[in-house]
Amino acid sequence: MKVGETLIKVEGIRKSFPGVLALDKVDFELKSGTVHALMGENGAGKSTLVKVMMGIYARDSGKMWLKGQEVDFKTPKEALDAGMSFIPQELCPVPDMTVAENIWLGRESSYFNIFVNYAKINSLTEEVLARIGVELDPKRLMKTLSTAEVQLVEIAKAISLDNDVLIMDEPTSAIGEKEVEKLFEIVELLKAQGKGIIYVSHRMEEIFTITDEITVFRDGKMVGTVTTKDITRGELITLMIGTTLDQEYVKENVPTQEVLLEVEDLTIKGKCENISLKVHTGEILGLFGLVGAGRSEFFSALFGVEKKQRGSVRIKGKEVRIKSPSDAIRNGMALVTEDRKESGLVLTSSVQENTSIASLREDVVGGLISRSKELERVNSMINKFRVKTPSERQLVGNLSGGNQQKVVLGRWVLTRPRILLLDEPTRGIDVGAKREIYKFMSDFAAAGNAVIMISSEIPEVLGMSDRIVILRDHKVIAEKPRAEIDQEMLMHLASFSS
Amino acid sequence: MRSKLCVVALLLVGVFCLATGAQAKDKLKIGAAVYGLKGEFMRLWVTALERHPAVVNGDVELTVFDGKYDASVQQRQFETMAAQGYDGIIFIPIDMNAGSACVDTAYYEDIPVVGSNTRVNSDNLLSYIGSDDVLGGYLEAKNVLDNMGGKGKVVIIEGPIGQSAQIQRREGNYKALKEYPEVEVLAIKTANWSRAEAMSLMENWLTAYPNKIKGVIGQNDEMALGAIEAIKDQGYKPQDYAIAGVDGITDAINAVKDDQLNITILQDAVGQAQGALDILLRKLQGEDYKPQAEFWEAVKWGDSIQPSYNVPWQPIDKQNADATLKKREALTTR
Amino acid sequence: MDQQAATTKQKLLGLLSNYTILIMFLVFCLIMVFASEYFATWRNIRNILRQTSINGLLSIGMTFVILTGGIDLSVGSVLAFGGVVAASLVSKASGGEVYSPLVAIMAAMGAGIMMGAVTGLLVAKWRVAPFVASLGMLSAARGLTYIYTDGMPIPKIEKSFLFIGKGSVLGLPMPVFIFALIVLISYIVLKKTRYGRYVYAVGGNEQSARISGINTRLIIFSVYVISGLLSAFGGAILTARTTAGLPQAGQSYELDAIAAVVIGGTSLKGGQGSLIGTVIGALIIGVVNNGLDILGVSSYYQQVVKGAIIVIAVLIDSLKKKS
């Protein structure tokens, strides 16, 4: 296939959901041998367009052509058979199957009629994995893999189809820097083979590293398509949010000398070992490390989610015993977990219930929850964080990622914490909401509190932290003031043993 | 409660010892495989068997197997008995069609099987002793219809559809109904042998057919008693209805005494259980074996083993209710 | 214009689907009113309510359990055990002491609490799957019931005890009155208390609930205790209604209780559902049983109709979620 041929073309696509016009008059074109980014804030319509193209959603109107043929896929299977692969943002492997079984799931029988030929699918898997330079045993069970490895398997699965079009929805949201590099190598490889790649992402650096063209969405409408090398970061942000942003990060807090939290020798074998650190009043402490370095595990141990084997915690010099999350909350801690859907929110409950749950005690009058009290507190958070929701009764699962994160933050603010533990606080969140969250962190610390933030995005770590603690292999490797460290050094410390 | 638990614990220990301890060979090892130990009738049946003179004096070593209302469990128990060299088996299958494989298992090992209470469709059964459910259904229905004066409207509460007892008792019910052409069946429906279900059913019927129902045929006592409770609850008098049940459970006999139930047709658990063991011992010890159960005073022992023996039903009415209860008390107190 | 019409239609659909169960219930009642002149009589309505109240009690306990994402298969057996425990304390048959009705009811509830606590511990502490833990209890409680009674019904219940099954208050039969009272209390607990919120939260996302400072194990444990308590209480009422402690009572009652909860729109995955839905679900089952009895429909059809209703109710629910 030649470079620059039109693979996909859509015209005048329109799609509405109850109460929302998700896509309006969208035109889009993907050429072979290019990487084409879809950008926009959450809810802008990127994922919707992808799902319409894949036949997951039925479009209301508009036309679509694949390699010159007009198509209208009714199911993802039809799209797949026609040559389009899709790696969704939410991965759904079968946990008790092996890597090989997952990759060839549903396609085993095209080689053999009844019995799965394991030898063959295993060797095929090795081939595919080798092609993208990933070392993984095809016989390993999916449930034993890390999130990043699962992501790589999904990519391998998509590539194994050898389709001309590959759609990746936030492929780097769950993987660390090292895996991202790997992924980019794979993308370059595919590009060289003349395939067309649609790349949905929030991350500026990635967009500028690997894409050739960018189509920007805003509020369900297509703002325009630009060539990547002709646009600057600032221009792109302006396109996305419609206004100019002076600065991506907001940082006004000033750390003091007063130690607020002191952790000593915190240990859970194999997860986080001998971790000691201090956080001061007014400080934002960055916690950096590759995926699997023990960052989230440290939070789990500190917050009492998992039982620690050893170690002590002092708040303002006083030793506290934390055996469960409720102990941690009582001592003024709050934990925003990495995964909003798995451990953050109760998706089947409303915004109101999710916001008040951790501090419900305060709304109880005479044994019963006072509705007016609760509403008042919940609404104060909805206003403070400018949560976009039709009402407090809306199911939280229906909100966009950024708004969901704001609900989680609101929940914790209501407990009046002094120490905020944030695990990847801006993952999968659009630029506008990110800025609001940065501002909140800064204000929170400035008000005489402290923040510990885990992040995989180096610019974010450097942009927000006063001090950075680097973890590797479950241990603290280094601790540096922000002024004494740069991007390369950070990566270096996190990746290699000295 | 504690004393009851102790008794149970001791029983369990006893059974365990019997099962594992060294067994003297001159004792006859007899297994009783019954479909389930729930319900008063089966308790009486088992107790009667344990009180058979041959078991009491130690000639026979008896083990009771609880089939847990599951044909496959019974099949497994037969295999166990065959493997352990039992001398004979008394068998109450869960269903007449489900038990023939069990019988065959024993037959090929030359273990004689005597059926009791519920017939098995098998040629390999040594003999069968039981009460004719068609006759039982006929007797109770006839009593109800007589008490209605041969006319009026009646309802029938059935057992679980498809069980042999339900099928045969219904056949008996309709046989009697044929003799009374002026009686109309208003409704017939299952309450699954359950008192609570029969109670709801009767309540609904009393609403749907106000002041029309004159008689109630319950295919067992539990359901007849449920109907009586419903009648009382809705402000009627059981005495104004002709009601009968089958089985002769203690509650029902008491209801007969209180004039609430006209009659219950007693299924003679003692005869069925002890008679079965006598037949089995006749086979194992030879034709000159003398039966030890009282029951044979009423039923012919005969010169040789018959393919089937009929245990007569005993209608219990106000006259013989007290006597029956006394006899039962003697059986159940240890 | 076009869009406005669409949203109006959606609103209407939304309204309709929110009250699916209620509408189904009313449609059934309407059909029955035309089919039988006796259906809408006060006497029959009392009967339906009374026949529903015991399954209703079990369904309420089941709602708590299912809201946490669990299931309690032991309700029927615990009901039987509670029933015979109460009966044994107020029976004149064995010649033992006859206790006051209150003592008997408390004892039954105590027994139910203990059995619920065992299931609850297994599920909450030792992480046994609820299906398996309660299946074990289903068998064990039934066995204990037979051991306790020797397999015989316990007759001759003291008159004063029968009040909770046969008496009436303010024109309502006692079982109905008790059921209504428990519905009211449970409604307040689920809707208005922290505990209720926590039950929903644990069912919706246990990990999130735990991180929010909720003692999730205690919540899970407690719902089985509630289910046990209500089941045993139901058993005591059944004993009073049938005037005997019946060891065989409550066979397969768990199925009707689960059916009521599911028809009522509560998700078996937990976290979503309502008590009012369960109450209507129980009433639908009651009306169908009663209606088919009154119409003289054969038992075979009754089973089919009940099955169809369960499936249709859940189907509507899932279609609703899909759109």
pLDDT digits (tens, 9 = 90+) for B29-82: 999 999 887 777 888 899 999 989 899 888 899 989 988 777 888 888 898 888
- Chain B hits for C293, CB-CB cut-off 8 Å, are 189, 200-201, 204-205, 208
Query: What's the rounded Cα separation, in Å, for the pair B216 and B224?
Result: 7
Res B255: pLDDT: 93
Q: Is the pLDDT of residue C95 over 80?
A: no
pLDDT more than 70, % of chain C: 93
Res B16: pLDDT: 46
CA B102 distance to own-chain centroid: 20
Token pair listed for C77: 């057996």
Q: Is the pLDDT of residue A320 over 80?
A: yes
Confidence of residue A335 (pLDDT cuts 50, 70, 90): very high
Q: What is the count of residue pairs from A and C with beta carbons less than 8 Å apart?
A: 81
Determine whether the interchain pair B38/C38 forms a contact, defined as Cβ–Cβ distance below 8 Å.
no
Determine whether the interchain pair A346/C209 forms a contact, defined as Cβ–Cβ distance below 8 Å.
yes
Q: Which of A101-115, A204-218, B205-219, C17-31 has the highest mean pLDDT?
A: B205-219
Determine whether the interchain pair C152/B207 forms a contact, defined as Cβ–Cβ distance below 8 Å.
no
Determine whether the interchain pair B204/C290 forms a contact, defined as Cβ–Cβ distance below 8 Å.
yes
Q: Are A345 and A404 a contacting pair, CB within 8 Å?
A: yes
C7, C205, C213: residue with CB nearest A346: C205
Query: What's the rounded Cα separation, in Å, for the pair B249 and B45?
Result: 12
Q: Is C18 on the interface with B (CB under 8 A)?
A: no
Res C58: pLDDT: 97
The nearest alpha carbon in chain A to C272 belongs to A348
Task: Compute the mean pLDDT over every residue in chain C, rounded to the nearest whole number.
Answer: 89
Query: What's the rounded Cα separation, in Å, for the pair A437 and A419?
Result: 16
Query: What's the rounded Cα separation, in Å, for the pair A19 and A220?
Result: 13
Query: What's the rounded Cα separation, in Å, for the pair B113 and B88?
Result: 6
Confidence of residue B221 (pLDDT cuts 50, 70, 90): very high
Pick the residue of C211, C217, C218 with the most A CBs within 10 A to test the interface with A by mutation: C211
Q: What is the mean pLDDT of residues C80-108?
A: 91
C193, C208, C215: residue with CB nearest A343: C208
Helix (H) or strand (E) holding B162: none
Token pair listed for C141: 């409680």
Of A291 and A406, the structure prediction assigns the larger pLDDT to A406
Confidence of residue B23 (pLDDT cuts 50, 70, 90): very low
Among C72, C73, C76, C115, residue whose Cα is nearest residue C238: C76
Which residues does B contribute to its contact with C (CB < 8 Å)?
Answer: 1, 4-5, 8, 37-40, 42-43, 161, 186-187, 189-190, 192-196, 199-201, 203-205, 207-208, 210, 222, 225-226, 229, 233-234, 249-251, 254
Name the pTM for this structure.
Answer: 0.75
**CB neighbours (10 Å) of residue A122?**
18
Res B121: pLDDT: 82
CA A447 distance to own-chain centroid: 28
Confidence of residue C138 (pLDDT cuts 50, 70, 90): very high
C-alpha gyration radius of chain A: 24
Among C221, C227, C61, C250, residue whose Cα is nearest residue C145: C250
Give tens-digit pLDDT for C241-289: 988 899 888 988 999 999 999 988 888 889 989 999 999 999 999 998 8
Counting as contact any 3 or more CB pairs under 8 A, the partners of A are C
- SS3 (DSSP) at B131: coil
Determine whether the interchain pair B196/C241 forms a contact, defined as Cβ–Cβ distance below 8 Å.
yes
Residues in Cβ contact with A42 at an 8 Å cutoff, skipping those fewer than 6 apart: A400, A401, A402, A403, A428, A429, A430, A433
- Chain C hits for A360, CB-CB cut-off 8 Å, are 194, 197
Residues in Cβ contact with B233 at an 8 Å cutoff, skipping those fewer than 6 apart: B199, B203, C166, C241
Helix (H) or strand (E) holding B185: strand B183-190
The ipTM, to two decimals, is 0.84
The nearest alpha carbon in chain C to B208 belongs to C294
How far are the Cα atoms of B31, B43, C288 from residue B101, in angstroms, in the given order? 17, 25, 40
Query: What's the rounded Cα separation, in Å, for the pair B232 and B241?
Result: 11
CA C132 distance to own-chain centroid: 20
B190/chain C closest Cα distance in angstroms? 6
Cα B217–Cα B219–Cα B223 angle in degrees, nearest 5: 85
User: What is the residue whose two structure tokens read 């060797």?
Assistant: A123
Among C197, C201, C320, residue whose Cα is nearest residue C271: C201
Token pair listed for C184: 């009211």
Q: Give the C window 109-138 contacts with B, CB below 8 Å.
A: none
Q: Is the pLDDT of residue A206 over 90?
A: no
Number of C-alpha atoms within 13 angstroms, CB side, residue C257? 31
**CB neighbours (10 Å) of residue C318?**
9
Among A43, A44, A48, A84, residue whose Cα is nearest residue A67: A84
What backbone torsions phi and psi does residue A271 show, to the nearest 5 degrees?
-120, -55
Of B53 and C66, the structure prediction assigns the larger pLDDT to C66
User: What is the residue whose two structure tokens read 């020797």?
Assistant: C150
- Chain C hits for A404, CB-CB cut-off 8 Å, are none
Res C102: pLDDT: 94
Lowest mean pLDDT among B30-39, C104-113, C235-244: B30-39
C-alpha gyration radius of chain B: 21
DSSP state of B290: P
- Torsion B50-B54-B56-B61 (CA) sign: negative
Token pair listed for A209: 């590293």
Q: Is C4 on the interface with B (CB under 8 A)?
A: no
Q: Is the pLDDT of residue A373 over 60?
A: yes
Among A392, A403, A465, A396, residue whose Cα is nearest residue A434: A403
Residues in Cβ contact with A38 at an 8 Å cutoff, skipping those fewer than 6 apart: A46, A49, A50, A198, A199, A200, A214, A215, A217
The nearest alpha carbon in chain C to B198 belongs to C242
Give tens-digit pLDDT for C155-200: 888 889 999 998 888 888 999 999 999 999 999 999 999 999 999 9
Token pair listed for B328: 């039962």
Query: What's the rounded Cα separation, in Å, for the pair A185 and C161?
Result: 80
Residues in Cβ contact with A288 at an 8 Å cutoff, skipping those fewer than 6 apart: A295, A454, A455, A458, A461, A468, A469, A470, A471, A490, A494
Determine whether the interchain pair A348/C207 forms a contact, defined as Cβ–Cβ distance below 8 Å.
no
Q: Is C163 on the interface with B (CB under 8 A)?
A: no
Confidence of residue A97 (pLDDT cuts 50, 70, 90): confident
Res A285: pLDDT: 96
A422/chain C closest Cα distance in angstroms? 13
A325, A346, A353: residue with CB nearest C213: A325
Residues in Cβ contact with A404 at an 8 Å cutoff, skipping those fewer than 6 apart: A340, A344, A345, A396
Determine whether the interchain pair A346/C194 forms a contact, defined as Cβ–Cβ distance below 8 Å.
no
Q: What is the mean pLDDT of residues A340-348?
A: 88
Confidence of residue C73 (pLDDT cuts 50, 70, 90): very high
Among C181, C141, C189, C223, residue whose Cα is nearest residue C57: C181
Res A261: pLDDT: 95
Res C62: pLDDT: 97
Res B333: pLDDT: 67
Res C195: pLDDT: 96
Q: What is the count of residue pairs from B and C with beta carbons less than 8 Å apart?
A: 100
- Torsion C143-C147-C153-C158 (CA) sign: negative
Among A84, A112, A100, A95, residue whose Cα is nearest residue A169: A84
Query: What's the rounded Cα separation, in Å, for the pair C85 and A93?
Result: 51
Q: Is the pLDDT of residue B163 over 80?
A: no
Q: Is the pLDDT of residue B9 over 70?
A: no
Residues in Cβ contact with A267 at an 8 Å cutoff, skipping those fewer than 6 apart: A273, A274, A275, A301, A308, A309, A310, A311
Query: What's the rounded Cα separation, in Å, for the pair A206 and C235?
Result: 66
Pick the residue of C67, C188, C212 with the most A CBs within 10 A to test the interface with A by mutation: C212
Q: What is the mean pLDDT of residues A466-481?
A: 90
- Please list the residues that pair with A475 across neighbouring strands: A472
Give tens-digit pLDDT for B249-291: 889 999 999 999 999 999 888 889 999 999 999 999 888 888 8
A303, A360, A367: residue with CB nearest C197: A360
Query: What's the rounded Cα separation, in Å, for the pair B102 and B238?
Result: 44
**Is there contact between B and A if contact means ≥3 C-beta pairs under 8 Å?**
no
Res A2: pLDDT: 59
Q: Is the pLDDT of residue C64 over 50?
A: yes
Q: Are A184 and A103 a contacting pair, CB within 8 Å?
A: no
Determine whether the interchain pair A357/C211 forms a contact, defined as Cβ–Cβ distance below 8 Å.
no
Q: Is the pLDDT of residue C111 over 90?
A: yes
Confidence of residue A111 (pLDDT cuts 50, 70, 90): low
Task: Compute the mean pLDDT over every residue in chain B, rounded to the nearest whole number.
Answer: 86
Give tens-digit pLDDT for B76-120: 889 888 888 899 999 998 777 778 888 988 988 899 999 998 888
C79/chain B closest Cα distance in angstroms? 12
DSSP state of A201: -
Q: Is C302 on the interface with A (CB under 8 A)?
A: no
Task: Compute the mean pLDDT over every residue in chain A, rounded to the nearest whole number.
Answer: 85
What backbone torsions phi and psi does residue B91 show, to the nearest 5 degrees?
-130, 125
Q: Is the pLDDT of residue A440 over 70?
A: yes
C147, C242, C247: residue with CB nearest B196: C242
Token pair listed for A442: 């800064």
Q: Is the pLDDT of residue A131 over 80?
A: no
Q: Are C55 and C256 a contacting pair, CB within 8 Å?
A: yes
Q: At what angle do helices B321-332 and B250-257 cross, to 10 degrees?
A: 150
The DSSP string of C84-116 is: HHHHHHHBSSSSS----HHHHHHHHHHHHHHHH
Q: Is C37 on the interface with B (CB under 8 A)?
A: no
Among A295, A301, A302, A308, residue whose Cα is nearest residue A261: A302
- Please list the residues that pair with A470 across neighbouring strands: A288, A478
Q: Is the pLDDT of residue B20 over 50?
A: no
What backbone torsions phi and psi does residue C103 show, to the nearest 5 degrees?
-60, -45
- Please list the residues that pair with B263 across neighbouring strands: B244
Res A242: pLDDT: 66
